[in-house]
């Protein structure tokens, strides 16, 4: 890898391949795999990630919004793309780009039927999402007959899959609740399939579901965070390889005399002499103010240096008093060590939020194409 000369988000496609193979190895060989690439592939770079996943033989993609799916189609991605949270205003564009909506309410179903009809569609692939306890999006089990009635004697739509989403797959304390969600989903899909007369794909597991509830893999699973190398628990993290690493470089070193202050609002001062390093990354890049004032640590030549004072828009200052380093040296914000789970925990958040907040200003560098 060339020397880091600015703030970069390195994206390692070989690590992605490793994680995909690892997760697949935990599943039955014929279980389909959907790669979740919403929010720029969890803040990384959706097009490179999707192209690599296509080359690896992925079955399906999912994005949250229609525009994310359009960007993939424009880049030449040809595999089916599920849009998890489509809005009616985008239905024409969705159809034009052969994207597949997750339909989650009677209203959205009716509006999609109308859009499909208007666009002269026949057997347009759609996915029916059921709410089994997350209480976010989804039909209730009482809607089954209503859905089937709406679709009866119509040719516009073809149900490609039935799905639901689990609320707490990473939390062993919620095992009972999760098993109940899985049971509810199983009941709904049995009822639905029998009345429908054909058998769509069925899927409910996210990454932690794959790890903790493999018996509920049905015929497809949906993984996001695991593909990017984070498993929501240290044991799984150790089997996965981080796909993204946020690296930067020391811009300037300062000697700070006792009782001098550092940064905005003079939030940091010490009664001893300190050495600080200023880094070209700030809250506009996705490292929020909650990481400042000693909460988070970054890696300088293998040693951990605290972020001191307030995080600025474009810069942070770190304490390198006990670390031999110079202007121009590389600093790892997160990657292998600390990994994104650990770094996020410094600010009481989760890797998902940290990764997706890395702003588009940060240069993406793709490794292992």
Ligand X SMILES: *Cc1c(COP(=O)(O)O)cnc(C)c1O
> Which of 342, 356 has the CB closer to ligand X?
356
Give yes or no for a contact between 248 and 7, defined as CB atoms under 8 angstroms apart.
yes
225 contributes a contact to ligand X by CB under 6 A: yes
User: Considering 158, 264, 295, 367, which one is annotated as catalytic?
Assistant: 264
Judged by CB under 6 A, the residue of 86, 133, 200, 226 near ligand X is: 226
Binders in 182-211 for ligand X, by CB under 6 A: 206-207
Report residue 102: phi and psi, to 5°.
-90, 115
Give yes or no for a contact between 308 and 294, defined as CB atoms under 8 angstroms apart.
yes
Binders in 33-62 for ligand X, by CB under 6 A: 36
Which residue stretch of 22-30, 191-199, 219-227, 245-253 sits at the interface with ligand X (rule: CB under 6 A)?
Answer: 219-227
Distances (CA, A) of 199 to 158, 194, 218: 11, 8, 12
How many Å apart are CA 138 and CA 135, to the nearest integer? 8
127 contributes a contact to ligand X by CB under 6 A: no
Count of residues binding ligand X (CB under 6 A)? Answer: 10
Distances (CA, A) of 339 to 200, 291, 346, 353: 38, 15, 11, 14
303 is catalytic: no
128 contributes a contact to ligand X by CB under 6 A: no
Judged by CB under 6 A, the residue of 223, 299, 310, 351 near ligand X is: 223
User: At closest approach, how far in Å is the CB of 332 from ligand X?
Assistant: 23
User: Considering 38, 52, 129, 202, which one is annotated as catalytic?
Assistant: 38
Length of the chain: 369
User: At closest approach, how far in Å is the CB of 225 from ligand X?
Assistant: 4
165 contributes a contact to ligand X by CB under 6 A: yes
264 is catalytic: yes
Going across the sheet that includes 252-256, the strands are 252-256, 274-279, 316-319, 303-308, 297-300, 330-334, 244-249, 8-12, 363-367
Q: Is 136 annotated as a binding residue?
A: yes
At what angle are helices 144-151 and 106-118 packed, to 10 degrees?
10
Number of H helices, E strands in the chain: 12, 19
User: At closest approach, how far in Å is the CB of 247 from ligand X?
Assistant: 23
Residues lying near ligand X in the complex (CB under 6 A) are found at 36, 84, 165, 206-207, 222-226
Provide the annotated active-site residues: 38, 264
């Amino acid at each position: 890898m060339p020397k880091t000369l600015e703030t970069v988000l390195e994206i390692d496609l070989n690590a992605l391949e490793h994680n995909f193979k690892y997760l697949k190895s935990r599943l039955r060989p014929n279980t389909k795999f959907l790669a979740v690439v919403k929010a720029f592939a969890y803040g990384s770079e959706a097009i490179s990630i999707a192209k690599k996943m296509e080359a690896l033989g992925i079955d399906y993609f999912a994005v949250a919004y229609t525009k994310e799916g359009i960007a993939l189609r424009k880049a030449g991605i040809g595999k089916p793309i599920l849009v998890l949270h489509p809005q009616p205003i985008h239905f024409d564009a969705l159809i034009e780009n052969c994207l597949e909506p997750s339909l989650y309410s009677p209203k959205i179903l009716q509006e999609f039927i109308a859009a499909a009809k208007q666009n002269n569609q026949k057997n347009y692939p759609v996915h029916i999402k059921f709410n089994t306890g997350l209480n976010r999006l989804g039909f209730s089990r009482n809607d089954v007959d209503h859905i089937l009635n709406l679709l009866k004697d119509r040719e516009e739509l073809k149900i490609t899959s039935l799905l639901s989403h689990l609320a707490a797959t990473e939390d062993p304390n919620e095992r009972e609740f999760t098993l109940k969600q899985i049971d509810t989903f199983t009941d709904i899909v049995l009822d639905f399939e029998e009345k429908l007369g054909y058998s769509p794909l069925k899927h409910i597991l996210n990454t932690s579901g794959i790890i903790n509830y493999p018996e509920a893999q049905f015929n497809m699973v949906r993984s996001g965070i695991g593909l990017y190398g984070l498993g929501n628990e240290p044991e799984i993290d150790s089997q996965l390889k981080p796909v993204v690493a946020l690296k930067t470089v020391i811009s300037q070193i300062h000697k700070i005399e006792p009782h001098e202050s550092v940064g905005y609002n003079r939030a940091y001062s010490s009664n001893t002499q300190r050495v600080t390093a200023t880094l070209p990354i700030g809250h506009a890049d996705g490292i929020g103010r909650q990481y400042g004032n000693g909460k988070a640590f970054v890696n300088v030549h293998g040693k951990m240096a605290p972020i001191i004072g307030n995080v600025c828009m474009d810069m942070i200052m770190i304490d390198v008093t006990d670390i031999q380093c110079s202007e121009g040296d590389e600093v790892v914000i997160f990657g292998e060590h600390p990994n994104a789970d650990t770094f996020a925990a410094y600010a009481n958040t989760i890797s998902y939020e940290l990764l997706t907040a890395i702003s588009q200003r940060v240069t993406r560098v793709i490794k292992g194409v």
